[in-house]
Amino acid sequence: MEKPYVVGIDIGGQTAKIGLVDARGSVLTQTAIRSDDTSDPNEFIHNLSEAVKKLVNKEYSMSDVRGIGIGAPNANFYKGTIENAPNLKWAGHGVILNFTDMMSAEVGLPVRITNDANAAAMGEMAYGVARGMKNFIMITLGTGVGSGIIVNGELLYGHDGFAGELGHVTMVRNNGRQCGCGKTGCLEAYASATGVARTAREQLETTDKPSLLRQIPAETISSKDVFDAASQGDELALDIFKFTGHMLGAALADFVAFSSPEAIVLFGGLTRSGDLIMNPVVEALNDNVMPQWKGKIKVLFSTLKESDAAILGASALAWDLN
Amino acid sequence: MEKPYVVGIDIGGQTAKIGLVDARGSVLTQTAIRSDDTSDPNEFIHNLSEAVKKLVNKEYSMSDVRGIGIGAPNANFYKGTIENAPNLKWAGHGVILNFTDMMSAEVGLPVRITNDANAAAMGEMAYGVARGMKNFIMITLGTGVGSGIIVNGELLYGHDGFAGELGHVTMVRNNGRQCGCGKTGCLEAYASATGVARTAREQLETTDKPSLLRQIPAETISSKDVFDAASQGDELALDIFKFTGHMLGAALADFVAFSSPEAIVLFGGLTRSGDLIMNPVVEALNDNVMPQWKGKIKVLFSTLKESDAAILGASALAWDLN
């Protein structure tokens, strides 16, 4: 009989979340460990492996687990590595870790790894709103803008394993905002949560529209503040969502010209703003795509519970393992 | 024994070129018929089929032909159709032809079809500079800008078969040039042969730089004129190539963020300008990609003879047939 479970792990800068997942996408049991309490990769991998065994062996058995899927920043699916990940204390600039090999040796199970946005796309295809789709694009709207591109039912990894950096296409070619990646004008500098906050500060400074946001010290304004103000009908806040959505929708139109997906799935904090972000996104998408695609590309919000999504996405990597 | 030959057909607005091709990519014999002397699709397909049989049977045999591959505008690989092709007299707006079925019935061989830029990419992978590559992007620089995207050794067709319209990503978001597709600011409106001529007219009008191009009536200036002037060191003409190459290179950087290809292959008339176009393309590509890709993406000119390339590309579709 095929082994009935997989383990999904979502590694972030502060914590690593671990879950045991069944074929229907239920997280049966989960736990978390700190990922920032050591700068020794061997120690972190040991801690993580022990936590996996402890979690599984409490009510289940490691012999029922098919394998482990991991989502992590700067992870390379082809090589099984985590490379130069500034947000991971034990894998910073200059460090290349053969993560899957190291962890597999500790736990005695096959391990696969991919970056977080790719894992989210896998999760959406295995358990979420993209179930049954063979061609779609996942856009994660968090602190940054990530992407996972599914082509013919498979993740697009490209020549080097790092394909799908759609947060870093250039949207503003002159005087664009500085982006964390070193470029200027990237989509991420506008359509992320931090981008929304930057737009708010810009608008507050360059217009004199009255706004609830003026009651908040400019430097502390968050995308959540903008959402709260917009929910109360604040005009400036509504403008900010329109600007953000239009920027994202225009970018999506170019992505459609590339891979002609059935749908684009949006995931992450900004999607909590619902129609405030969805309406301008769809409007700009349809204003900017070629005629044959107008009104034909579905834009959907992820249906995965945000707390489970990262674990589920990572776990989806492990179903192909034996 | 496997059948040793395939037929490649390149259908354009005025002519259809037909060639018999062997496994090494040699065009053994070729011919052409008019494609604009009838508006009846049945008649055109009959003429084309008869021409194929006549060509093959002269020195070879139809029983040695594995199948027929066709490159045509607005062709859909999945459906085997040519749809709404304004440049084809017998397949204009509103017409959907089941081209492969119709032709297969006439010739008694399996037939596959794809659009011209996709065919070019297949040709490059089968016989050209991209031999052995699994991930690359073909950009055709002719009257328009076309593209064929190879992912994991296969053409990217997307959900509907129309993926790879990279000539129609938006490069200029405000006051962009009108494009033939109905949008404004498309790459094609700048980086095609017609785009170069438009840039020349714009520059002649908006600057008063002396230039050899001023001796030519503005309305008749072609990209060839700009090339000739640039070859003689004409500064304005050199500026035009720089502008064109920078626009294309900046677009390529976004394509890299999408599919992370090993190489980008340039094909078509504009590539005859050699370094005049290559240098600014590579410069802008490296100025606009994320740090991990700087200096790592090969930009190559096609090595296929332009007269054979379209036939070879189309023929490459037929090797998978039995």
Quickly state the pLDDT bin for B306 (edges 50, 70, 90).
confident
As averages over each run of 10 residues, the pLDDT of chain A (322 residues) reads 91 93 93 95 97 97 96 92 89 92 96 93 92 96 93 96 95 95 95 96 94 95 96 96 98 98 95 96 97 96 85 90 67
What was the ipTM of the complex prediction?
0.92
Coil, strand or helix at B10: strand
| Lowest mean pLDDT across A17-21, A199-203, B119-123, B211-215 | B119-123
- Are B139 and B129 in contact by the 8 Å Cβ rule? The answer is no
- Are A151 and B157 in contact by the 8 Å Cβ rule? The answer is no
A112: left (phi over 0), alpha (psi -120 to 50) or beta: beta
**Does residue B175 surpass a pLDDT of 90?**
yes
Q: Who among A154, A165, A288 is closest to B170 (CB)?
A: A288
Task: Decide if domain A132-302 falls under CATH 3.30.420.40.
Answer: yes
Which two structure tokens, joined as six digits, stand for A15?
């914590």
How close B56 comes to chain A (CA, Å)? 36
Domain residue extents for chain A: 5-123+307-316, 132-302
What pTM was estimated for this model as a whole? 0.92
DSSP element (H, E) containing B253: helix B235-259
**Helices A223-231 and A193-206, packing angle to 10 deg:** 70
Contacts of A69 (CB under 8 A, 6+ apart): A6, A7, A8, A9, A111, A112, A113, A114, A119, A122, A314, A315, A316, A317, A318
Contacts of residue A168 in chain B, CB cutoff 8 Å? 257, 290
Of B207, B171, B201, B174, nearest in space to B189 by CA: B171
Instruction: Give me the mean pLDDT over the B215-233 stretch.
Output: 95
In chain B, whose CA is at the least distance from the CA of A161? B260
Residue identified by tokens 């999904």 is A8
**Does residue B123 surpass a pLDDT of 70?**
yes
First-to-last C-alpha distance (Å) of chain A = 11
Q: Which CATH number fits domain A5-123+307-316: 3.40.50.10800, 3.30.420.40, 3.40.50.10480, 3.40.50.300?
A: 3.30.420.40
Instruction: Give me the mean pLDDT over the B278-300 stretch.
Output: 97
Pairing state between β B5-11 and B65-71: parallel
**B111 forms bridges with which residues in the sheet?**
B68
Q: Who among B165, B168, B254 is closest to A170 (CB)?
A: B254
Of B71, B77, B119, B73, nearest in space to B93 by CA: B73
C-alpha distance from residue B232 to each of A83, A220, A292, B229 (Å): 49, 59, 43, 5
B299–chain A Cβ distance below 8 A for any pair: no
How many helical (H) and strand (E) elements, i.e. helices and strands, does chain B have?
9, 13
Write the single-letter amino acid at A101.
D
Domains A5-123+307-316 and A132-302 share a fold: yes
Find which of A151, A162, A190, A262 to mutate to test the B interface (most B CBs within 10 Å of its CB): A151
pLDDT in tens, A229-288: 999 999 999 999 999 999 999 999 999 999 999 999 999 989 999 999 999 999 999 999
Instruction: Give me the phi and psi of B184, to 5 degrees please.
Output: -125, 155
Question: Can you tell me the distance from the alpha carbon of A315 to that of A142, in angstroms, rounded to the nearest whole number?
Answer: 21
Question: Can you tell me the distance from the alpha carbon of B47 to that of B36, in angstroms, rounded to the nearest whole number?
Answer: 12
- B159, A288: Cβ pair inside 8 Å? no
Specify the pLDDT at position B319.
87
Specify the pLDDT at position A322.
59
Of B162, B164, B126, nearest in space to B22 by CA: B126
Specify the pLDDT at position A306.
75
Specify the pLDDT at position B262.
98
Contacts of residue A170 in chain B, CB cutoff 8 Å? 250, 253-254, 288
**Does residue B1 surpass a pLDDT of 70?**
no
Specify the pLDDT at position A320.
79
Write the single-letter amino acid at A129.
V
Specify the pLDDT at position A156.
97
- In chain A, positions 225-254, which contact chain B (CB-CB < 8 Å)? 250, 253-254
Instruction: Give me the phi and psi of A291, to 5 degrees please.
Output: -50, -40
- Are B30 and B18 in contact by the 8 Å Cβ rule? The answer is yes
pLDDT in tens, B237-277: 999 999 999 999 999 999 999 999 999 999 998 999 999 99
- Are B32 and B14 in contact by the 8 Å Cβ rule? The answer is no
In chain A, whose CA is at the least distance from the CA of B264? A159
CA angle B129, B131, B133 (to 5 degrees): 105
Alpha carbon dihedral A211, A214, A220, A221, in 10-degree steps, equals 10
How many helical (H) and strand (E) elements, i.e. helices and strands, does chain A have?
9, 13
Contacts of B233 (CB under 8 A, 6+ apart): none
DSSP element (H, E) containing A21: strand A15-22
Specify the pLDDT at position B322.
59
Any idea what DSSP says for residue B64?
A: G
**Does residue B215 surpass a pLDDT of 90?**
yes
More confident site: A144 or B287:
B287
Coil, strand or helix at B57: helix
Contacts of residue B182 in chain A, CB cutoff 8 Å? 290-291
**Does residue B160 surpass a pLDDT of 90?**
yes
Contacts of A86 (CB under 8 A, 6+ apart): A92, A93
Q: Who among A156, A162, A168 is closest to B151 (CB)?
A: A156
**A97 forms bridges with which residues in the sheet?**
A82
Specify the pLDDT at position A319.
87
* DSSP strands (E only) in chain B: 5-11, 15-22, 27-34, 65-71, 75-76, 81-83, 96-97, 111-114, 136-141, 145-151, 154-155, 263-267, 298-301
A286–chain B Cβ distance below 8 A for any pair: no
Coil, strand or helix at A20: strand
pLDDT in tens, B60-79: 999 999 999 999 988 999 99
Contacts of A58 (CB under 8 A, 6+ apart): A29
Any idea what DSSP says for residue A206?
A: H
Contacts of residue A149 in chain B, CB cutoff 8 Å? 258-259
